[in-house]
Amino acid sequence: MIATQTPPTAIQTVLADRFILTEVERFTLVFPAVWVAQIVRIDRFQILDLPFYAPLLTGIVHHNGQIIPLIVAARLLKVKNAIKERLVVVKLNDSAGSIANIGVVVDRAIGSSTRLDLPPDLFAATSTGSQTIVMRPDLIPSDLWQPQR
């Protein structure tokens, strides 16, 4: 038996080379466009706090019939940032793998770009110390989903 792959759709092909750019304090946080389900604004009062979890997991929100856990990107990048009254959330889809269906709170969405328009070393495994960071599942600690004391 010969294994066959399903060819990517036209939209997946176009999105594979696109990236969503967001701002978090002094950083540009870059998301592969194929990972982004939507970018939404939510009010802070909509967030249900999760006090027994790591501070990175700020809470959950009910949006469009789904419960979305929220991660604050500023805490992920270890920068000081107060949570505003109105938040911009990048909701990730199933293509994001182990971080699928979470929402990442950013300061603002600043646009989109192609891979060619981004610095080539951004995608290198040894890329460090840059103000531009590509979102990756390994940035999220594996114990995030476990209650803390």
pLDDT tens column, 12-41:
555 678 999 999 999 999 999 999 999 999
d(CA 16, CA 32): 7
Q: Which helix (H) or strand (E) holds 11?
A: helix 10-15
Q: What is the mean pLDDT of the chain?
A: 86
| Domain 10-137, CATH class in plain words | mainly beta
Domain residue ranges in the chain: 10-137
Dihedral angle, C-alpha 103, 95, 76, 91, nearest 10 °: -20
Closest CA to 107 of 1, 22, 8: 22
d(CA 127, CA 133): 9
Neighbours of 127 (CB within 10 A): 14
- Contact yes or no for 24/74 (Cβ under 8 A): yes
The stretch 120-145 carries a mean pLDDT of: 79
- Contact yes or no for 111/39 (Cβ under 8 A): no
> Could you tell me the pLDDT band of residue 1, with boundaries at 50, 70 and 90?
very low
Beta-bridge mates of residue 71: 57, 104
Sign of the C-alpha dihedral computed for residues 47, 70, 77 and 89 taken in this order: negative
Greatest mean pLDDT among 2-6, 47-51, 81-85, 86-90: 86-90
Q: In the chain, what percentage of residues exceed pLDDT 90?
A: 50
How high is the pLDDT of residue 113?
92
> Could you tell me the pLDDT band of residue 53, with boundaries at 50, 70 and 90?
confident
The stretch 70-85 carries a mean pLDDT of: 88
